[in-house]
């Protein structure tokens, strides 16, 4: 059986080594699903921003090799504030803005969000 609280504390300890504070915004959509006005403030969360390398995929049929590019991730513990974040929200970290592509929730212990730079 998983000891979720112990695992959550390990995530919190890891994040505290190199924390990044993210201000979370959400676009307000009109009736045509287009962004209206300025995004609204949702919450502020602390996490770890890092790059994750993808594995090399080999296809033996055509002797091709596909190198996947790395993905940017934001790791946060599972708590009341991180539960407010949804896919397509905007994370403002430092002077950069990232869009949440995938939340990556795992066992109610942490979120390993896949993010990409927002235009």
Domains with residue ranges and CATH for the chain:
4-117 (2.40.10)
CA distance 63 to 69: 19
Q: Express each pLDDT in 11-65 by its tens digit.
A: 999 999 999 999 999 999 889 988 888 999 999 999 999 998 866 655 555 555 5
Distance CA 111, CA 118 (A): 20
pTM of the entire predicted model: 0.84
Q: In this predicted model, what pLDDT tens digit does every residue of 83-110 receive, in sequence order?
A: 999 999 999 999 999 999 999 998 899 9
Would you say the C-alpha torsion 48, 87, 24, 78 has a positive or negative sign? Answer: negative
């Amino acid at each position: 059986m998983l000891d979720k609280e112990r695992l959550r504390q390990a995530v919190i300890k890891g994040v505290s080594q190199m924390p990044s504070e993210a201000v979370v915004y959400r676009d307000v959509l009109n009736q045509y699903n287009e962004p209206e006005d300025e995004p609204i403030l949702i919450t502020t969360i602390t996490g770890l921003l890092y790059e994750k390398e993808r594995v090399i995929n080999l296809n033996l049929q055509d002797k091709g090799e596909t190198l996947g590019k790395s993905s940017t991730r934001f790791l946060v513990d599972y708590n009341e504030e991180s539960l407010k974040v949804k896919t397509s929200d905007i994370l403002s970290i430092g002077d950069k803005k990232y869009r949440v592509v995938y939340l990556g929730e795992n066992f109610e212990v942490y979120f390993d969000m896949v993010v990409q730079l927002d235009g």
